[in-house]
Structure 1
Amino acid sequence: VPAPGADAGAATLAVFRTVADARKHYGAPAIGPYIISMSRSAADVLAVLALARVAGCVDADGRVPLDVAPLFETIADLRAAQDVLVQLFADPLYREHLASRGGRQMVMLGYSDSAKDGGLFASRWALQRTQVLLTELAQRSGVRIAFFHGRGGSISRGGGKTERAVIAAPRGSVDGYLRLTEQGEVIHRKYGIRALALRNLEQTTGAVLRASLRPRPAEPREAAWREMVGRMAEVSRSHYRALVHESARFADYFRAATPIDVIERLRMGSRPPRRGGAGGVASLRAIPWVFAWSQNRAGLTGWYGIGTALGDGIARHGIDAMREMTRDWPFFATFVEDVEMLLAKSDLDIFARYSRLAGALHDEFHPLIADEFARTLAAVLQLRQADRLLAGDRRLALSIRLRNPYVDPISLLQVDLLARWRAQDRPEGELFLALAATVNGIAAGVQNTG
Structure 2
Amino acid sequence: MATHGVSHRRQGSLFASEEGEALEKLATTSSYLSGRGETKDFNAHDVIEECDALLQTIFFSVVRETTSEEFLAKLQGVYDGSEAFGKTGEPKDFEAMKKLLETMEVDESLQFASAYSNLLNLHNISEQVANAMEERHKRLDDIPRGPAKSTNGAIKGLIRSGKTIEEIYAALSRQHVDLVLTAHPTQALRRSMLKAFGKVREKLLQLQRFRLSRFERAEILDEIRSNIAAAWRTDEIRRTPPKPQDEMRAGLTYFQQTIWDCVPTFMRRVDTALLANGCGRLPLDRSIVTFGSWMGGDRDGNPFVTSECTRDVVLLARVQGTNFLFSTIQKLLFELSMWRCNDTVKRLANDILATSETDKNAIFEERKRRNYDDFWKAIPEHEPYRVILAMLRDKLYNTREALQKCVTDPNVSIDVNDDSIIRTKEEIYEPLVACYESLIEVKDDQIANSLLLDVIRQVQCFGLGLVKLDIRQESDRHAEALDAVTRYIGLGSYIEWSEDQKIEWLTSELMSKRPLIPHDLECSADVREVLDTCKMIAHLQQTCPGSLGTYVISMATSASDVLAVVLLQRECGCREKDVLRVAPLFERLDDLNDAPRVLRQLFSVKWYLDHINGFQEVMIGYSDSGKDAGRMAAAWALYEGQERVVAAGNEFNVAMTLFHGRGGTVGRGGGPAHIAMLSQPPGTVNGSIRVTVQGEVIESDFGERENCFHTLDLYTASVLEHSLKPPSHPDDKWRAVMDRMSEYSCAHYRKTVFETPEFVQYFAQATPGSELGSLNIGSRPAKRKPNAGVTALRAIPWIFAWTQSRFHLPVWLGISASFKRLIEEGELQTLRDMYKRWPFFEVTIDLVEMVLAKADPVVVAYYEKALVDESLHDFGAKLRGELESSIDVILTVSEHIGLLVQPEKTEENANEARRMQQKLKHKLEKRNLYITPLNVCQVRFLKQARALEHEEDGEKLSMRKVKITMLEGYPFQDFNYKGAVNDVLKITMKGIAAGMQNTG
C-alpha distance in 2 between matches for 1:141 and 1:313: 38
Map 1:155-234 to 2 at 5 A. 155-217=666-728, 219=729, 222-234=731-743
Deviation of the 1:286 alpha carbon: 0.6
Letter in 1 for 2:930: Y
Greater than 6 Å deviation, 4+ residue runs:
1-4
1:430 match: 980
Letter in 2 for 1:165: A
Gaps of 5+ in 1: none
1:48 match: 565
C-alpha distance in 2 between matches for 1:142 and 1:404: 53
1:36 match: 553
Deviation of the 1:280 alpha carbon: 1.0
C-alpha distance in 1 between matches for 2:624 and 2:769: 18
Q: CA RMSD in A?
A: 1.6
Question: TM-score under structure 2 normalisation?
Answer: 0.43
Higher relative CO (Cα under 8 Å, sequence separation at least 6) belongs to: 2
Letter in 1 for 2:988: T
Deviation of the 1:20 alpha carbon: 1.2
1:118 match: 629
Q: Is the 8 A contact 2:630 2:813 kept in 1?
A: yes
Farther off after superposition, 367-376 or 39-48: 367-376
1:181 counterpart SS class:
strand
C-alpha distance in 1 between matches for 2:871 and 2:622: 30
Q: Deviations over 1:226-265 (max 9, x none)?
A: 1111110111111111111111131111111001122022
Q: Is the 8 A contact 1:311 1:375 kept in 2?
A: no
Aligned residues between the structures = 441
Map 1:205-284 to 2 at 5 A. 205-217=716-728, 219=729, 222-284=731-793
C-alpha distance in 1 between matches for 2:539 and 2:786: 34
Asked if 1:394 is matched to 2:944, the reply is no
Deviation of the 1:136 alpha carbon: 1.6
Gaps of 5+ in 2: 1-300, 304-476, 481-522, 902-913, 951-976
Percent identity between the aligned chains? Answer: 38
Letter in 2 for 1:414: Q
From 594, 614, 638, the equivalent of 1:80 is 594
Letter in 1 for 2:525: D
Q: Deviations over 1:17-41 (max 9, x none)?
A: 11111111111x2110100010011
Q: Deviations over 1:137-173 (max 9, x none)?
A: 2222210111001111110011101111110000010
Letter in 1 for 2:823: I
C-alpha distance in 2 between matches for 1:281 and 1:444: 25
Q: Deviations over 1:294-328 (max 9, x none)?
A: 00010111101111112222222432211101110
Q: Is the 8 A contact 1:36 1:69 kept in 2?
A: yes
Q: Deviations over 1:322-352 (max 9, x none)?
A: 1101110111000000110010000111011
Deviation of the 1:9 alpha carbon: 3.1
Deviation of the 1:180 alpha carbon: 0.9
Deviation of the 1:428 alpha carbon: 5.0
1:359 match: 869
1:335 match: 844
Deviation of the 1:361 alpha carbon: 4.1
Asked if 1:24 is matched to 2:574, the reply is no
1:372 match: 882
Q: Is the 8 A contact 1:340 1:380 kept in 2?
A: yes
Farther off after superposition, 125-134 or 309-318: 309-318
Q: Is the 8 A contact 1:104 1:145 kept in 2?
A: yes
2:990 match: 440
Deviation of the 1:6 alpha carbon: 4.1
1:121 counterpart SS class:
helix
Question: TM-score under structure 1 normalisation?
Answer: 0.95
From 65, 70, 76, the equivalent of 2:579 is 65
Deviation of the 1:267 alpha carbon: 2.9
Q: Is the 8 A contact 2:945 2:978 kept in 1?
A: no
Larger Rg, first or second structure (1 or 2): 2
Asked if 1:416 is matched to 2:934, the reply is no
C-alpha distance in 1 between matches for 2:590 and 2:978: 41
Q: Is the 8 A contact 2:585 2:620 kept in 1?
A: yes
Q: Is the 8 A contact 2:659 2:689 kept in 1?
A: yes
C-alpha distance in 1 between matches for 2:526 and 2:796: 27
Q: Is the 8 A contact 2:570 2:579 kept in 1?
A: no
Deviation of the 1:222 alpha carbon: 2.1
Farther off after superposition, 392-401 or 421-430: 421-430
Q: Is the 8 A contact 2:537 2:569 kept in 1?
A: no
Task: Classify 1:52/1:166 alpha carbon distance in 2 versus 1 (closer, same or farther; 3 Å).
Answer: same
1:215 counterpart SS class:
coil
C-alpha distance in 1 between matches for 2:937 and 2:552: 42
Q: Is the 8 A contact 1:410 1:442 kept in 2?
A: yes
Q: Deviations over 1:109-146 (max 9, x none)?
A: 11111101111011111110100111222222210111
2:555 counterpart SS class:
coil
C-alpha distance in 2 between matches for 1:414 and 1:448: 16
C-alpha distance in 2 between matches for 1:358 and 1:234: 31
Q: Is the 8 A contact 2:541 2:578 kept in 1?
A: no
